[in-house]
Chains A and B, each alone.
Chain A
Amino acid sequence: MTDPATLGGGNSTEENDVEFPILCETCLGDNPYVRMTKEKLGKECKICARAFTIFRWLPGRGMRYKKTEICPTCAKLKNVCQTCILDLEHGLPVQVRDTALSIQDEVPREDSNRRDYLAKMANRLEVMGDPLDFSGKSQPAGRDMLKQMTRKEPYYKRNRAHICSFFVKGQCTRGNECPYRHEMPEGDPELAKQNIVDRYHGNNDPVAKRMLERARKSDKLKTPEDKSITSLFVMGMDKTVTQADLRDHFCAHGELKSVVVVPKGNCAFINFKTRAGAEAAAKAALGGCMVKSKPLRLAWGKPKPKGPDSELRRQASESSGARMPPGSLGSDTFAYPSQDPTAQGAIGK
């Protein structure tokens, strides 16, 4: 009996029943009780055009039904959500994450090459588990930048129904029962021209470009409020740049108290004797300076510049203190009456 799963050119990895799709929290919605339909080989992946299992669910009241758009193989290769094609960890576009972490796009664009590559990777993922690292452990600077850009709260507005194009033209005859939104499209029309394949591969994505530009501008070393900070944090270093090089470069702006190099993190700390000196150095190196033909990124150091180790330790203790057990706050507010543990039986109106 010909197995339908193998008919599409040996796509036998989809045969292994996928229980749950790879999704981000915003796509799933605010309701913890979600009903999903599963359809094996329901549609073809928008990227690789292979048939895969689609999952379809309602991400909350008043939202449109969402479904998985790309196959799990494509999603795993880029560590993105199967529906929104945004990074699973940060919720950022692929282009933003890849530029921050300097990841190259290895998926070939041309059809036959792509199919072969994806088939090979699908097998490899199955056998070896996840070989690709997207956490950016090797790039702390990039990781910081990403952390800054991540949304703190899930953005459920993304799950709303699409705008009624007939309404925009003034021709919607469905009126009140129209399931699409009767609002005018808001936001920059430039950002509206998005293409799923471009967004996936991480090139020519207008949203990503906008985000990166904004990050670069805000990066231009705004002076911190704490007037006692006199240290600059240098990123993007490597073995060729020595302490002496940094000293030479920065002593021109002011007297240096110390220069500490952290080879493991490819970074360094420049501690100035005076605040004015630090500010002068920051202004001079707006956006990046070149030391020994190595482009460096500067940032203000965190308070109490004792040394790299103590800094990191302080940072770690600060962040862990602020973290509270999940679910302890806000457990009194319920989005759905079914979430109320004290409710007994059906709730009438």
Chain B
Amino acid sequence: MPKIKSSKRTKQQPPEGWDEIEPTLTEFEQKMRDAENESTAGKRKVESTWTVMRVHHQRSRYIYDLFYKRKAISRRLYDYCLKSGYGDANLIAKWKKQGFEKLCCLRCIQPRDTNYGTTCICRVPKAKLEEGRTVECVHCGCRGCASSD
């Protein structure tokens, strides 16, 4: 998905600072391609997409960290990354909210995806879970993304 080439006007040169982050982003892209091409042997049906979700989270996290936490890139570069599809704007929007700082993916907070209209089990803080058994959520394999964990 990244490296989109628009047909008409080829995009202007990527903004300043691009050269510092470009190698990491290429690495992420390579990881994503590997995840997409993984063999599905020995995995559950839902498990095959988990690595894809993980890489997506990591990549968006990298961009979010750079801009909001480390303040290492400019607004322009940040917007450019989001527009080119290197980071998920919707997911990052959630990370800015209190309580959702460590959110794993957008599917896990979608109540329409559950039988009883709740959020995914991975959103429950481990302290409240009271079972002693680790849970891997069915959507993305997350083991707990509550902010207190």
Contact = CB atoms under 8 A, between A and B. Distances in A.
Nearest to A62: B131
A37 B42 CA distance: 31
A61 B116 CA distance: 16
A56 B115 CA distance: 10
Interface in B93-124: 115-116
Interface-centre pick from A35, A56, A173, A177 (highest chain B CB count, 10 A): A177
Q: How many A residues are at the interface, by size bracket? A: under 10
Contacts of B135: 177
A176 interface: yes
A173 B47 CA distance: 13
Contact of B115 (A37, A62, A173, A177): A37
A172 to B, nearest CB: 12
A56 B131 CA distance: 22
A120 interface: no
A83 B135 CA distance: 27
Interface in A159-214: 173, 176-177
B116 A177 contact: no
A349 interface: yes
A56 B42 CA distance: 29
Nearest to B127: A349
A177 B128 contact: no
A306 to B, nearest CB: 58
B112 to A, nearest CB: 14
Contacts of B127: 349
Contacts of B116: 35, 37
Q: How many B residues are at the interface, by size bracket? A: 10 to 19
A176 B134 contact: yes
Interface in A304-349: 349
A309 B143 CA distance: 67
Interface string B132-146: 011110000001000
Contacts of B143: 177
B128 A349 contact: yes
Interface string B33-72: 0000000001000000000000000000000000000000
Nearest to A65: B115
A349 B128 CA distance: 8
A62 B130 CA distance: 10
A329 B127 CA distance: 32
Interface in A5-63: 35, 37, 56, 61-62
A177 B134 contact: yes
Interface of B: 42, 115-116, 127-128, 131, 133-136, 143
15 contacts: A35-B116, A37-B115, A37-B116, A56-B115, A61-B131, A62-B131, A173-B42, A176-B133, A177-B133, A177-B134, A177-B135, A177-B136, A177-B143, A349-B127, A349-B128
Given A177-B134, A177-B136, A349-B128, 6 more contacts: A37-B116, A56-B115, A62-B131, A173-B42, A177-B133, A177-B143
